[in-house]
Chains A and B, each alone.
Chain A
Amino acid sequence: MTRLLSRRALVLGGAAALAGCDRLARHETVRDALFSADNFHKWAQRGLMRPDALAHEFRPDQISPFFRANGTANPDTPAYRALWRSGFADWRLRVGGMVARPLSLSLAQLHAMPHREQITRHDCVEGWSAIGKWRGVPLSLILDAARMHGRARYVVLRCADDMGGGARYYESIDLIDAFHPQTILAFALNDRPLRVANGAPLRLRVERQLGYKHAKYLMAIEAVESLSGIGAGKGGYWEDRAGYDWYAGI
Chain B
Amino acid sequence: MGQGQAAAVMPRMVQRHRLSTRLWHWLNAMLLYMLFTSGLGIFNAHPRLYWGQYGANFDHAWLEPGRFPGWITLPALYDLAMARHWHLTAAPVLLFSLLVYMFWSLGNGHIRRDLLFRRGELAPGHVWRDIQDHARLRFPTGEAALRYTVLQKGSYGAVIFLLLPVAILTGLAMSPGMNAAWPWLIDLFGGRQSARSIHFIAAFALAAFFLVHILMVLLAGPLNEVRSMLTGRYRVPEKRR
Contacts and interface: CB of A to CB of B under 8 A. Distances in A.
B218 A128 contact: no
Contact of B177 (A34, A130, A131, A249): A249
B181 A129 contact: no
A226 interface: no
B221 to A, nearest CB: 10
Contacts of B74: 18, 21-22
Contact of A68 (B33, B56, B79, B180): B56
A124 B175 CA distance: 11
Interface in A1-38: 3, 6-7, 10, 14-15, 17-19, 21-22, 25, 33-35, 37-38
Contacts, number: 147
A133 interface: no
Contact of A130 (B54, B79, B219): B54
B86 interface: yes
B126 interface: no
B180 A208 contact: yes
A41 B88 contact: yes
Interface stretch (A57-65, A142-150, A157-165, A192-200): A57-65
Interface stretch (B41-49, B147-155, B156-164): B41-49
Contacts of B53: 58, 62, 121, 129, 131
A227 to B, nearest CB: 18
B216 interface: no
A125 B179 CA distance: 15
Interface string A236-250: 001000111100011
A249 B46 contact: no
Contact of B183 (A19, A56, A242): A56
Nearest to A64: B54
Identify which of A54, A121, A127 gathers the most chain B CB atoms within 10 Å of its CB. Answer: A127
A89 interface: no
Interface stretch (A45-53, A77-85, A90-98, A99-107): A45-53
B85 A37 contact: yes
B84 interface: yes
A209 B177 CA distance: 6
A125 B176 contact: no
A243 B192 contact: no
A54 B54 CA distance: 18
A131 to B, nearest CB: 5
B192 A129 contact: yes
A163 B112 CA distance: 59
A249 B218 contact: no
A41 B79 CA distance: 20
Given A22-B74, A208-B177, A130 B88 contact: no
A171 interface: no
B63 interface: no
A48 B46 contact: no
B222 A6 contact: yes
Given A18-B76, A19-B76, A62-B53, 15 more contacts: A18-B74, A25-B82, A34-B82, A38-B88, A45-B178, A49-B180, A53-B180, A56-B186, A68-B57, A126-B46, A127-B43, A128-B193, A129-B54, A208-B176, A244-B81
Interface of A: 3, 6-7, 10, 14-15, 17-19, 21-22, 25, 33-35, 37-38, 40-41, 44-45, 48-49, 53-56, 58, 62, 64-66, 68, 121, 123-131, 207-210, 238, 242-245, 249-250
Q: What 4 pairs between A and B have smallest CB-CB spacing?
A: A249-B177, A49-B181, A250-B175, A127-B46
